A and B are shown apart, each in its own frame.
Chain A
Amino acid sequence: MALPPNVSEEEFASALSEFAQAVGDEWVFSSDEDVALYRDSYSIYWGEPEERVASAAVAPANVEEVQQIVRVANRYNIPIYPISTGRNLTYGGAAPTLSGSVVVDLKRMNRVLEVDEDRHFALVEPGVSYYDLYNYIQERGLQVMLDVPDPGWGSPIGNSLDHGAGYTMAPFRDHFGSRCGIEFVTAEGEIVRTGTGAMPGTDTWQDYRYGVGPMIDGLLAQSNFGIVTKMGFWLAPMPETFLTGTVTVPRYRDFDALVKEVSYLEDSFLTGMPSFGSPAAGGGFGQASPQMAELMQDGWPSVERLEEFVSAQGRPAWSVELRFYGPEEVVRASWDAAKRRFRDRVAGAAFEDGDFWRLPLSAEELATNPRKPLLGVPALEIFATMARNPRTNDAPLEGHADLFAILPRKAEAVHEAARAMSDAYGELGVPPAHHPFSTPLNFYSRAFIVPAIVPTWRDPARNAQSRALYSRLVDRCAEHDWIVYRTNPAFQDQVVSKLSYNDNALLRFEEKLKDGIDPNGIISPGRYGIWPASMRSGRA
């Protein structure tokens, strides 16, 4: 059995006994077999000494039990690592940042406390999954729409606290941005409510999130300042219809105008999440096709060469699918306005009507609908992109560590990022995934993301190569002043070190907070680079 750092077997046994008194014997997991269930399935250190592993897990059923767990952990100086549904795949899964931590598994706290279809909000506990919340809404026929990340089995609380994102309209697809009201347990075991929740008996906790005075919600995300036990979210009223339309522009150089116009439409709240692509290149991002590899065999092509390539393909250089939500007359007018604006600004812009659905779709219609996340319907179909397929039949992917670089919404930045990432792959002898027609993702309406999907394996040799690539990409992005929005514990110190303004003043401020709020450093030591004072000296 693994032990927490600097805790004896006797002390740990005593602590486990006290955990069991708090939650019941059944909900303390300490056998090797049970603790192994808290490994990160996609660990980039799988089976190596550096793999982050728990010493035990404890699963409370309510906030009072969370308080008791925190108090026991403080008594014994045992690091604890809260998880909600423990999915968070590619970003560490259920495994703790610090090996030997006791995972506090909040899955049993799975109550949907409220969904208001008139004021459009939900209040949930951490163990509630997007599926659970969706089913709750469906069973009651409530006319609200969720915004879900690609895998729907995660927790709205966990996803938002990791800055996860979805697919619908800008105010909702930023999941932390759509929160309203948090309850958390401090490292000392006290219950705190943020916003107007600090006023007993309030009826505005999920309506007005500022309260009065400092807004501390941000301290709970990608951090280790407390254990969130309730959280409110703003929801969209169920739109009457959903309509899509695709715009294409003919030349490589047109990407600049395309980006600027899409930003205008998004920032005017006229479209939901846009989806860029490149018909000439045959897709968006991903493994570069042999055609792209050939295009890049003599180095990064000139703009003139790229224009020749586009002409030779006979297809438009770029596309963007726009998605509209609302009453039929409004979405059709928005699409018409978008077409007029593109026509006025980009010579050769062309348009194609896409889907038009009246919402909500029935369960039967949804079962065969391939675009569930765009409609706020949880699914796991994204896993098909990594599942065994004819190309990977001999060695199916076992996991991945995602690196999503945050960029300004500028065409030149997208091209620069594609080239920088392609170079980084090439330097390590890895076939490039990026190419001159790589397109950005737009999960966050005000920023672009250029992604790199780094494979992980249950094979140390291949993981070593993946770690080298990931680390190289983090460095290369930082050289271009791009940060990664979220990362695996294996790289959190490295990523956070890039926030170096004024001698890493932000991290130093967070450390002062950590020392004051959690003096024993028991909650998630090291999460996103925030280590307690006792563990800070050894940090890279």
Chain B
Amino acid sequence: MKVTIVVAGLAILTTAALGQNAPSADTGKVVFDKWCTPCHGAVAPAGGLGDGALPGTSALRVKYNGELPAVLEERTDLAPEFIETVVRGGLFGMPITRKTEVSDSELEDIIAYLTRSNN
């Protein structure tokens, strides 16, 4: 426990010295909820358009057919580079997301959130 606290303290000192905030999974969840959940969330409308799931979740359910979770927040294998590529470049019906919408810092937070349980 003590080691963890010391390491965390060093991390805070380091990022403070650099004038940056460390990517935060907690902040990432807030940003994710705002920008991603309407398509990639787990709670879907009953009898809606997406066959029992929101659009992104519905698409991933078809794509992975049970081999991987359709809900992004349940994934443990998402690579940071992949998340960044999809957010900035779009994929299929998902459009490009600009930096005035989700800043680079907020994208880092999203990545911290989605990779928090990575193997």
Instruction: A152-B38, A388-B59 given; name 14 further pairs at CB < 8 Å.
Output: A36-B89, A41-B90, A57-B98, A86-B98, A87-B95, A105-B100, A367-B43, A368-B45, A369-B46, A381-B50, A384-B51, A388-B63, A389-B62, A399-B93
Query: Per-residue CB proximity of A21-45 to B under 8 Å, as 1/0?
Result: 0000001010000101111011000
> A residues within 8 A CB of B93?
383, 386-387, 396-399
Interface SS majority for chain B:
loop
- The residue that A107 contacts in the complex, of B44, B88, B100, with Cβ under 8 A, is B100
Is A187 positioned at the interface, with any CB of B under 8 Å from its CB? no
> B residues within 8 A CB of A368?
43-46
> B residues within 8 A CB of A66?
none
Interface set, chain B 17-74, CB cutoff 8 A to A: 34, 38-39, 43-51, 53-56, 58-60, 62-63
CA distance A241 to B57 in the complex (A): 31
Chain A's nearest CB lies how many Å from the CB of B13?
25
In the bound complex, do residue B54 and residue A393 qualify as a contact, i.e. CB atoms below 8 Å apart?
no
In the bound complex, do residue B95 and residue A41 qualify as a contact, i.e. CB atoms below 8 Å apart?
yes
CA distance A383 to B38 in the complex (A): 10
> B residues within 8 A CB of A388?
58-60, 62-63, 92
In the bound complex, do residue B38 and residue A105 qualify as a contact, i.e. CB atoms below 8 Å apart?
no
CA distance A37 to B63 in the complex (A): 26
In the bound complex, do residue B96 and residue A380 qualify as a contact, i.e. CB atoms below 8 Å apart?
no
Chain A's nearest CB lies how many Å from the CB of B85?
12
Measured CB to CB, the residues of B under 8 A from A are 34, 38-39, 43-51, 53-56, 58-60, 62-63, 88-90, 92-101
- The residue that A370 contacts in the complex, of B45, B56, B100, with Cβ under 8 A, is B45
Chain B's nearest CB lies how many Å from the CB of A104?
11
Chain B's nearest CB lies how many Å from the CB of A57?
8
> B residues within 8 A CB of A38?
98
Is A467 positioned at the interface, with any CB of B under 8 Å from its CB? no
Given A152-B38, A389-B58, A390-B62, A384:B48 Cβ within 8 A: yes
Interface set, chain A 41-98, CB cutoff 8 A to B: 41-42, 57, 59, 85-87, 89, 93-94
Residue in A27, A384, A386 with the greatest tally of chain B CB atoms within 10 Å? A384
Interface SS majority for chain A:
loop
Is A379 positioned at the interface, with any CB of B under 8 Å from its CB? yes
Measured CB to CB, the residues of A under 8 A from B are 27, 29, 34, 36-39, 41-42, 57, 59, 85-87, 89, 93-94, 105, 107-108, 127, 131, 152-153, 367-372, 379-390, 393, 396-399
Chain B's nearest CB lies how many Å from the CB of A395?
10
> B residues within 8 A CB of A389?
51, 58-59, 62
Chain B's nearest CB lies how many Å from the CB of A166?
17
In the bound complex, do residue A387 and residue B96 qualify as a contact, i.e. CB atoms below 8 Å apart?
no
Residue of chain A at shortest CB distance from B39: A380
Given A29-B99, A397-B92, A398-B93, A387:B44 Cβ within 8 A: no
Closest 8 pairs between A and B when the two form their complex, measured CB to CB: A384-B50, A370-B48, A41-B95, A370-B45, A383-B55, A384-B49, A388-B59, A107-B100
> A residues within 8 A CB of B58?
384, 387-389
Given A107-B100, A370-B45, A396:B88 Cβ within 8 A: no
CA distance A399 to B95 in the complex (A): 9
- The residue that B55 contacts in the complex, of A57, A93, A127, A384, with Cβ under 8 A, is A384
> A residues within 8 A CB of B51?
384, 389
> 19 A–B contact pairs at CB < 8 A?
A36-B96, A37-B99, A38-B98, A39-B96, A59-B100, A86-B98, A86-B101, A93-B96, A94-B96, A127-B100, A152-B38, A153-B38, A367-B43, A385-B49, A388-B60, A389-B58, A389-B59, A393-B62, A398-B92
